[in-house]
Amino acid sequence: MSATSRRRPTARAGSPGGYLTPMHVERSFSVPRPPDEVFAYLADFTHTQEWDPGTVSTTRTSGDGGLGTTYANTSEFMGRRVELTYETVEHQPPTRVRFRGTNDSATTYDTMTFEAEGAGTRIHYRADFQFGRLLSLVAPLVLRGRLDKLADETVEQLTDALTTR
Tens-digit pLDDT profile for residues 77-103? 778 899 999 999 999 999 999 999 999
Residue 12, pLDDT above cutoff 90: no
Three-class SS of residue 40? Answer: helix
d(CA 154, CA 160): 10
Q: Which residues form the domain of 70?
A: 19-164
Tens-digit pLDDT profile for residues 15-65? 444 444 568 889 999 999 999 999 999 999 999 999 999 999 999 999 999
Tell me if 79 is assigned to some domain: yes
Q: Percent of the chain having pLDDT more than 90?
A: 61
pLDDT at 116: 98
49: domain CATH number is: 3.30.530.20
pLDDT at 106: 87
Tell me if 11 is assigned to some domain: no
Mean pLDDT estimate for the chain: 84
Q: Are 103 and 82 in contact (CB under 8 A)?
A: yes
The whole model's pTM is what? 0.80
d(CA 123, CA 76): 24
Domain count, the chain: 1
d(CA 91, CA 96): 6
Tell me if 32 is assigned to some domain: yes
Output phi, psi for 13, to 5 deg.
Answer: -70, 155
Tell me if 84 is assigned to some domain: yes
User: Which strand ranges, in their side-by-side order, compose the sheet holding 80-92?
Assistant: 23-31, 120-131, 106-117, 96-102, 80-92, 70-77, 55-62
d(CA 20, CA 8): 13
d(CA 127, CA 146): 13
Tell me if 136 is assigned to some domain: yes
pLDDT at 105: 84
Tell me if 41 is assigned to some domain: yes
pLDDT at 2: 41
Tell me if 111 is assigned to some domain: yes
pLDDT at 69: 98
pLDDT at 144: 64
Tell me if 78 is assigned to some domain: yes
Residue 133, pLDDT above cutoff 80: no
